[in-house]
Structure 1
């Protein structure tokens, strides 16, 4: 069930697609997307003519992606169920993507693992593209927020409204500081009842400079940072952070 809500919610957010399409145009060859989910990024790139490989560990997400994949794209898309911190494919890619703010939800050890996997699967001049919220900016926000309605969309199965709200809090433990984001999906039924599904993501607030050092230590020699999907300069006040490593 969550895969349907996830797709209906996040398919409304397309501000990054032009950036990934432009990046793919600069990197001839097949593209690997890590954590491809229901295909919000993968399908538009495949429609644009790029050979796509999608990898995700969630079988429900992959099943929905397979079901919604247009027949004309079957030959240009391969899907694998696997953990993107430990995978092996018998090919290399000119472009590997980890979009959708997934990278900062990983532990430091898992980030090292996914960087090693990306290195092993990139062609000689290939690029690893990552997007994540700027941890320095997140640390500047208030310690917590009240729940706030963000979107309302029709439920993909019955058409009844789904109200999406979110709230965040920052926490600190002995091991790390985190930004915890809670999404609440309220399915509003005709009889007045509400069916709630809540999803939590945790973003590691390791300083940006340390994230960059991790990437360089993994063997990436050229690392570019942008503060948004229109290539603007990255600053401590940028809410978004896009990293291109090669």
Structure 2
């Protein structure tokens, strides 16, 4: 994954933008319930706890792993202050997923949600992350990886021009935030470079801050992902094209692999 974690720099902004994204929650609840009414879940790249909270509220035991200490700080704060979630139902681990080894932990479900897998920039990174997932799943356990569809890169800007992605309000800080993104595509390596420009201003215009954060993603295609899974202890995956678990096909908005550990 990225050698320096860019999410530490704008974890608060990321959380403000994404904490309300719930489209995939019913899918993960369904997959967990199908595994077991008391399924144990490992989330690789849990971020600020967006998925952990509804899964723990539903009664599942969940462990979240992330490389960003600032993301984990936000996740811990949200989990600890949620009265519907007992403390014994969740835990957080600050670790590089490629080298994660939790003692004697066997999970029923592992999740790599919402493009998180794209932060693996090399084949070795990809294989190591999937081996981590397999090492922590019981035989027959399910891994779900949520990816963009095969043609996603073709629709992404490749001019490096900043475009407004989101306007956010931070009620605690009393600021308005404008998040711009510039994209470049590197087809030879299946990589996309994203640079975010964050502009934040107080309502009275007395304070203005700006920061730049850049990172790369490596896109992965369907058959490539199948080979990676088959090399790391998983059976042939089932492919879904949206969060309703419709089959993957032309025009699908998502590319979700569901693979059993063997």
Note closer, same or farther for the CA distance 1:157–1:198 as it changes in structure 2 (3 Å cut): farther
TM-score by length of 1: 0.90
Q: CA RMSD, aligned part only?
A: 2.0
Does residue 39 in structure 1 map to residue 49 in structure 2? yes
- Partners in 1 of 2:57 and 2:199 — Cα distance? 33
Count of residue pairs the alignment pairs up:
243
User: Which residue is 1:65 aligned to?
Assistant: 75
Shift of 1:188: 2.2
Does residue 14 in structure 1 map to residue 22 in structure 2? yes
Q: Is the 8 A contact 2:196 2:213 kept in 1?
A: yes
Shift of 1:110: 0.9
Equivalences for residues 1-246 of structure 1 within 5 A: 2-28=10-36, 29-69=39-79, 70-71=82-83, 72-89=85-102, 90-106=104-120, 107-134=122-149, 136-141=150-155, 144=158, 146-155=161-170, 157-173=172-188, 176-189=189-202, 190-191=204-205, 194-246=208-260
Unaligned runs of 5+ in 1: none
Shift of 1:46: 0.3
More displaced 10-residue stretch of structure 1: 29-38 or 152-161: 152-161
- Partners in 2 of 1:148 and 1:73 — Cα distance? 42
Note closer, same or farther for the CA distance 1:37–1:214 as it changes in structure 2 (3 Å cut): same
TM-score by length of 2: 0.85
Consecutive aligned runs of 4 or more in structure 1 exceeding 4 Å deviation:
none
SS in 1 for 2:12: helix
